[in-house]
Amino acid sequence: MQFSIPLKLLIISLVFLLVLPRPEIVAENENAGQLDAEFSLKYIVIDPGHGGRDPGCLSQSGVKEKDITLSVSRKLAEVLRGKTEYEAFLTRTDDCFMSLKQRVDFANQESFPPNQSIFLSLHCNSFRDQRIHGMESFKFDLDATDELAAELVERENAQEAVDKFDFMIINLRKRGNEKYTEQVARILQESLVDQLGVKNRNLNASRNIGVRGAPFYVLAWTKMPSILLELGFMSNDVEREKMTAEKYQRRIASALVKGIKKFDRQLQ
């Protein structure tokens, strides 16, 4: 096959750029691939999705995603602080707006070493088909697992400019903590499904009930193993009703704590 000179130059430049990542991205993620056997869980960074002028998903009855995520996150931190040895921190503790970058900067502080910390971003889902319900967990991936995940990631990333090229580099560099990310996502999802009797979210097109992947901004840039949990669908009447109840929120918190402890036991 013959390539013209400009096309050749373009291909060479692209290959060169892929082999030599931009320095700022290397610096941002220099710890991301160095977790390995030394991982020992101490810090749980909880990220209540949305807040302030960003309500997240809204129901017709006026329920806001930002209120559910904050309330569940507070309960989770309370149980972790009261009943476990882990130290829990919230990216936001009240109804304030925080950009996705601010959340990432909070998680990447030196006080949360990537080999002693996990990042849990909590959200609620929504879909035009109101029958869809269930919970799902996500890890970072360049491509969304299915149509619903693709729509979701577009909504959750809406506040921040997303550079696909940066994400490609990050995808290579996140492999060092992939094992832990996958493990924590799977265990927390199983714990929620077992303890709450909810379903894994399913679409006819996708029979895979495992951990899903999508290019979420907060998962891309956090150095520690990080996952995003969609606790249920606000577009489903039954699930929305449950998620707004204090008692059910406490059950979510306790299921997550059980899962975190199980993840930790499996590390030893």
Least distance from Zn ion to the Cβ atom of residue 249, Å: 16
Rounded to the nearest 5 degrees, what angle is found at the Cα of 65, between the Cα atoms of 147 and 94? 135
Report the distance separating Cα 183 and Cα 209, nearest Å.
Answer: 14
Least distance from Zn ion to the Cβ atom of residue 57, Å: 6
Output b/e per residue, 1-28; b: 16+ Cβ within 10 A. eeeeeeeeeeeeeeeeeeeebeeebeeb
For the chain, give the number of residues. 268
Least distance from Zn ion to the Cβ atom of residue 112, Å: 22
Least distance from Zn ion to the Cβ atom of residue 260, Å: 21
- Binding residues vs Zn ion (CB under 5 A): 49, 56, 123, 156
Q: Which is closer to Zn ion, CB of 65 or CB of 141?
A: 65
CA 200 from chain center: how many Å?
Answer: 16
Least distance from Zn ion to the Cβ atom of residue 16, Å: 37
Q: Which residue is nearest to Zn ion (CB)?
A: 123
- Name the residue among 3, 103, 107 with its Cα closest to residue 45: 107
